[in-house]
Amino acid sequence: MPIIYIAFVALISMFAEDLNDKIARNMKEGNASELTTSFNNSIELSIMGKEETYSKTQAEMIMKDFFSKSKPSNFSIARKGVSDPATKFINGKLETTAGIYKVYILMKSNSGSFLITELRIE
**H, E, C per residue of the chain:** CHHHHHHHHHHHHHHHHHHHHHHHHHHHHCCHHHHHHHEEEEEEEEECCEEEEEEHHHHHHHHHHHHHHCCEEEEEEEEEEEEECCEEEEEEEEEECCEEEEEEEEEEEECCEEEEEEEEEC
pLDDT of 110: 80
**Domain extent at residue 103:** 2-121
Whether 17 shows a pLDDT value over 50: the answer reads no
Whether 12 shows a pLDDT value over 70: the answer reads no
Confidence of residue 18 (pLDDT cuts 50, 70, 90): confident
CATH code where residue 93 lies:
3.10.450.50
pLDDT of 83: 86
- Summarised one tens digit per residue, pLDDT across range 64-117 is 999 999 999 999 999 999 988 899 999 999 999 999 999 999 999 988 889 999
pLDDT of 9: 54
Whether 42 shows a pLDDT value over 60: the answer reads yes
Count of structural domains within the chain: 1
Please give the average per-residue pLDDT across 10-31, as a whole number.
79
